[in-house]
């Protein structure tokens, strides 16, 4: 049993690296968005030509990123959605909704202070964790049945 | 051709009323979430029993609300998602993602200052409007072909 | 918004009647299995011919009942699954699994003593109630936003 | 032709081991739930934090187990559902219903005394066996055309 | 609960009329193929122009008939497939396979002498009857719970 | 049996009117795109604001029109796709592909000179006609079994 | 591009062997039913126990064979359905209908004398051939673009 | 993350070769139609027998080609649709519509002079490029996050 896992959301902390490192040795395959902020913002105009209007600048980029995002979520068994302390993070919530409608297993990784605001997202999740290490423990349990010592 | 329209998102302004009033005479049917904030927050414990832990208090409520939300989105031809000036509004973005994965036509109603933060949501929409009256004009055009004078 | 509701499970108490009576005045439509125990058991052989072997006797009947059950669940927005105090009730759990895979909103109605044994079924539900009146309150809230006084 | 087989149900006898051993040499791949009873019961709170209320203790665990169960059933060609002599085993019937709605080929493994109570589950199955060795014979026949001597 | 019923197969006896008459008073809606043999054979060339080659003559007609057949089966809750004593009746078996893949409830109406040759079709059915009146009894039972006296 | 029919393609001749008039008295419901060329081209900027760049001017309009088009095709039993003598008509071919992937019954209405260039579209159709009156005859036959005199 | 091909239908001639031999060197994978007539007829009772009634004898066998058949068709890109000169061959037509509803590419292999009786099945096919060697030529063309010399 | 890419459309220039060469070293797999114009036109009659009528000559060929096209599009993550300067190219627009309805990520490759005529197709795309090298840049970005220097 291999698990394909899409890591959605926050790109300003090392949560992805901690999960990937912690899951070393497990039969898992990770994917996620482009995490280079500038590349992600400017990919559309860099490849397809500049736009005067910021809306279309962003639009072109968001659509290129959607190619990667949709492919990753559609191919995933589990979608982990991380909400950090800052920013609007509507793309994370959007990914969660998208994954929920596809029937994916969702794990939300979020800090306690966002509990109330995330209650609808949490309600669609099979697990709500606060630390990346808990996500690793979930993956290990799901794959091997082993619990933390 | 009747259009079923789900009005998702912000519950603190009169945007739903303005759309419903403006669409008077069109062959449309509207649905949306419970917009009484307190009822929406407390429905779970009021019906199914109190919880000491705020997480489960919210969880019970969010799941009851999901019965209505999922039914409304699943039955909609068009999902209008409103982002206001304030609050996290992750449930709105979640609904947008959910609707996108189901292939629904999405109209986003959002203020200019949220343009960049909403670029992924906008990229999944068939229209991005700033005023409820524009949503009404879209509905009128889609149903009758008539444009604003 | 009309809600179609399938009432699955126990046929030896008046829970269906209590829900239907309580929901009087709400925009709901109820369906459910044939609740005449003898008819349900013998329908296959009564219509299609006797069987010496009890397995095939039951098999013919269960398949005729499946015509009704599948139609009811497939057309439902909400599936209420009732587990009573007695009997194996595997058909109720089967219906719950069937409804879950179809993405239906599930409400489980079960007594406290079955909590642990039903944990997998409860985990797939959007609400777990103990009394039929709570189901009525959920339906009223989902349809109208009104909570019990 | 490789067959992916999910082995659902009873965890207190050696039926899984007998099937896996008997199928040695066949082009099959088996999966199933975590069969360590204590781990299965406590996984939620061990990883995500303790709960005072037994309902939520069980709920957290059942949802983690659902990540594995749904993945296994969704990826299976055949779902074997075992009902033993004891316990409620509603999770087994739930899995059977879930598999049926997904159109999976279902083999039920059950003792004669449960025949009547399982008639709805049997009606959704392509085979009803009493011994694990019969399941092995089915797998061998389906893969190779060979029948028991 | 209204049942939509597609009556597929043999067009040379009065079985459809017997079912429709017998089901008088039940909440059912019937559809079926064009039963005028000559019209069914020649519709393609009559409307779209003659063909020298019999294959294309038949091809054009079969495709026009498919518009009606697919619409009827797709909208049906129950597909009744009738095999008569004569002819190849491959279209009936084709309809049965088509209905099975769509998850429709299938009732086969066939004479005893075809039992062995129809075993794969029977295996996909929820009921196998010999007389149209049994189909009526099934419809009455499924809709009302009433069994023949 | 009501048939929902979407009339896609050419907007510069009276083919839609001829079909609708000819089908008078049949149990059919027609839908189609906005056929006012200017409104169709400019709807996006008229409602959502002007664009300097023609690409985005057209993009906004095409997306609004997509709300109507997708709704019409998704709800149709039959999609009639008309190719006229002039213009690129890629939107007609796009609609045909869209309808084919959804499994809709397709009728193509096209002049003989386009036969070779349309062969892939014709191959996905259940009928290829040259005159609107043939489409009417098909609808009458499908609904009533009656052929032209 | 690998093509998975299910070879359905007649089991009394060497058509499967001729296709498999002819396709040597192509990137194809073949599957099909158990072609040992006696094993196919008796598998149910040999594994799951004898039946006095021939209907149930056949029923048990047909259901075991369905495990293999459904798996093969569901996993196929192309379903080749062979109708021979003799027998009812309703299972072949059933498989064709099943494959059609799943959107599989269908190739029918049938003798000229069955042309009229198979017109509905032919209408659902992308190719109608008379000789196994034509099927091989189709597979070679689809995979490599090469036509017979 | 491997990307499967179907290259649809124009067969008279070297755009496919430029994309395949440019994507050297990326984890991509390409497929596309048979690009030998004569083989593509005549495959049907060469394998399945001559036709006097050009319509059926083309029909047989278009259906054989559909086996390859549908398989390629169904298995693709990304469908690139190329419109050249010449010809009707309705098959390209048909493929785009087919891909859109399946939810595939679409990249359109088209010259500026076709902008207005392709606005509906562009509206369904996640990127609109003018040069094959831009498609390569998109693939590199989606797979690796790297942008052109």
3 state SS for chain D: CCEEEEEEECCCCCHHHHHHHHCCCCCEEEECCCCCHHHHHHHHHHHHCCCCCHHHHHHHHHHHHHHHHHHHHHCCCEEEEECCCCCCCHHHHHHHHHHHHCCCEEEEECCHHHCCCCHHHHHCCCEEECCHHHHHHHHHHHHHCCCCC
Count Cβ atoms below 10 Å from residue F118 Cβ, excluding itself.
27
Q: Give the range of the structural domain holding residue E92, as residue numbers without chain letter.
A: 3-34+77-144
Predicted local distance difference test score (pLDDT) of residue A78: 98
Task: Say how many domains are in chain C.
Answer: 1
Of E88, E93, E120, the CB nearest to G62: E120
| Dihedral sign of CA atoms E21, E26, E28, E29 in order | positive
Predicted local distance difference test score (pLDDT) of residue E63: 98
Residue D52 lies in a domain: no
What the block records as the tokens of E123 is 């295996």
Residue G59 lies in a domain: no
Contact residues, chain D to chain G, C-beta under 8 Å: 1, 3, 77-78, 105, 126-129, 134, 137-138, 141-142, 145-148
Contact between H147 and A67 using a beta-carbon 8 Å cutoff: no
**DSSP 3-state assignment of C105?**
strand
Interhelix angle D54-74/D37-48, rounded to 10 degrees, is 110
- D vs G, Cβ pairs < 8 A, gives 52
Residue D88 lies in a domain: yes
Spell out, as residue ranges, where chain A has pLDDT lower than 70.
Answer: none
Spell out, as residue ranges, where chain E has pLDDT lower than 70.
Answer: none
Residue D129 lies in a domain: yes
Q: What is the tens place of the pLDDT at every residue in F15-52?
A: 999 999 999 999 999 999 999 999 999 999 999 999 99
Pick from E2, E64, E67, E75 the residue to mutate for testing the F interface (most F CBs within 10 Å): E67
Contact between A147 and D31 using a beta-carbon 8 Å cutoff: no
Residues of A in contact with H145 (CB under 8 A): 34-36, 39
What is the average pLDDT score of chain C?
97
Spell out, as residue ranges, where chain G has pLDDT lower than 50.
Answer: none
Q: Strands of chain A (E only): list them.
A: 3-9, 28-31, 78-82, 105-109, 127-129
Of H101, H115, H121, the CB nearest to F102: H101
**DSSP 3-state assignment of H34?**
coil
Q: Is F touching C (3+ C-beta pairs, cut-off 8 A)?
A: no
Predicted local distance difference test score (pLDDT) of residue D149: 84
Residues of B in contact with F68 (CB under 8 A): 142
Closest-CA distance, D34 to chain G, in angstroms, reads 26
The rounded distance, in Å, linking the Cα atoms of E51 and D13 is 68
Pick from A54, A56, A63 the residue to mutate for testing the F interface (most F CBs within 10 Å): A56
Pairing of strands A127-129, A105-109: parallel
What is the average pLDDT score of chain D?
97
Contact between B47 and C1 using a beta-carbon 8 Å cutoff: no
Closest-CA distance, C6 to chain G, in angstroms, reads 28
Of F67, F72, F75, the CB nearest to B78: F67
The rounded distance, in Å, linking the Cα atoms of A7 and E35 is 57
The rounded distance, in Å, linking the Cα atoms of F49 and B134 is 10
Closest-CA distance, F56 to chain A, in angstroms, reads 8
Residues of D in contact with G60 (CB under 8 A): 127
What the block records as the tokens of G22 is 């002819």
Judge contact between G89 and G9, C-beta under 8 A: yes
Alpha helices (H) in chain G, listed in sequence order: 15-22, 37-48, 54-74, 90-101, 119-123, 132-144
CATH number of the domain residue D98 falls in = 3.40.50.2300
Predicted local distance difference test score (pLDDT) of residue E149: 83
Name residue, tokens 């003898």: C38
Residues of F in contact with B134 (CB under 8 A): 47-48
Predicted local distance difference test score (pLDDT) of residue B1: 72
Spell out, as residue ranges, where chain H has pLDDT lower than 70.
Answer: none
Closest-CA distance, B79 to chain C, in angstroms, reads 15
The rounded distance, in Å, linking the Cα atoms of G10 and G92 is 7
The rounded distance, in Å, linking the Cα atoms of G97 and E103 is 13
Residues of B in contact with A119 (CB under 8 A): 58-59, 61-62, 91
Instruction: Name the closest residue on chain D to residue B51, using Cα atoms.
Output: D53
What the block records as the tokens of G129 is 């051939």
Pick from E45, E48, E56, E59 the residue to mutate for testing the H interface (most H CBs within 10 Å): E56
Predicted local distance difference test score (pLDDT) of residue D81: 98
- Chains in contact with C, where contact requires at least 3 CB pairs less than 8 Å apart: B, D, E, G
Residue E149 lies in a domain: no
The rounded distance, in Å, linking the Cα atoms of B99 and B106 is 7
Q: CB under 8 Å to F18, separation ≥6 — which residues?
A: F132, F133, F136
Predicted local distance difference test score (pLDDT) of residue B87: 85
Burial of G42 (C-beta count, 10 Å sphere; 0-12/13-18/19+): middle
Judge contact between B16 and B32, C-beta under 8 A: yes
Predicted local distance difference test score (pLDDT) of residue C87: 85
Contact between G56 and C56 using a beta-carbon 8 Å cutoff: yes
Judge contact between B33 and B11, C-beta under 8 A: yes
- Chains in contact with E, where contact requires at least 3 CB pairs less than 8 Å apart: C, F, G, H
Residue B13 lies in a domain: yes
Name residue, tokens 């397995």: C55
Residue F128 lies in a domain: yes
Contact between E52 and H56 using a beta-carbon 8 Å cutoff: no
Predicted local distance difference test score (pLDDT) of residue G140: 98
Of F3, F105, F141, the CB nearest to E47: F141
Interhelix angle E132-144/C37-48, rounded to 10 degrees, is 170
Judge contact between G9 and G72, C-beta under 8 A: no
Q: What is the tens place of the pLDDT at every residue in B84-98?
A: 988 889 999 999 999
Q: CB under 8 Å to A20, separation ≥6 — which residues?
A: A30
Q: What is the tens place of the pLDDT at every residue in A102-140?
A: 999 999 999 999 999 999 999 999 999 999 999 999 999
Instruction: Name the closest residue on chain E to residue F109, using Cα atoms.
Output: E48
Pick from B1, B109, B134, B143 the residue to mutate for testing the F interface (most F CBs within 10 Å): B1
Instruction: Name the closest residue on chain C to residue G55, using Cα atoms.
Output: C56
Predicted local distance difference test score (pLDDT) of residue D140: 98
Q: Kindly provide the ipTM of the predicted complex, given to two decimals.
A: 0.97
Judge contact between A95 and A9, C-beta under 8 A: yes
Contact between F71 and B1 using a beta-carbon 8 Å cutoff: yes
Alpha-carbon B8 to chain mean position = 1
Q: Is B touching E (3+ C-beta pairs, cut-off 8 A)?
A: no
Q: CB under 8 Å to G133, separation ≥6 — which residues?
A: G18, G22
* Radius of gyration for chain A, computed over Cα atoms and rounded to the nearest angstrom: 16
- G vs H, Cβ pairs < 8 A, gives 52
Predicted local distance difference test score (pLDDT) of residue A73: 98
Closest-CA distance, C134 to chain E, in angstroms, reads 25
Judge contact between C140 and C146, C-beta under 8 A: yes
Pick from H6, H90, H111, H127 the residue to mutate for testing the F interface (most F CBs within 10 Å): H90
Residue E67 lies in a domain: no
Predicted local distance difference test score (pLDDT) of residue F74: 97
């Amino acid at each position: 049993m291999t698990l394909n896992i899409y890591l959605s959301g926050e790109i300003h902390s090392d949560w992805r690296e901690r999960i990937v490192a912690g899951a070393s040795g497990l039969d898992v395959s990770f994917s996620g968005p482009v995490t280079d902020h500038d590349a992600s913002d400017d990919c559309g105009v860099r490849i397809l030509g500049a736009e005067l209007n910021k809306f279309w600048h962003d639009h072109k980029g968001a659509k290129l990123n959607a190619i990667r995002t949709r492919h990753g979520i559609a191919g995933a068994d589990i979608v982990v959605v991380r909400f950090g302390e800052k920013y609007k993070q509507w793309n994370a919530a959007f990914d969660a909704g998208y994954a929920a409608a596809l029937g994916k297993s969702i794990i939300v990784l979020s800090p306690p202070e966002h509990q109330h605001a995330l209650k609808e997202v949490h309600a669609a999740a099979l697990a709500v964790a606060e630390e990346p290490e808990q996500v690793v423990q979930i993956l290990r349990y799901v794959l091997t049945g082993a619990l933390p010592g």
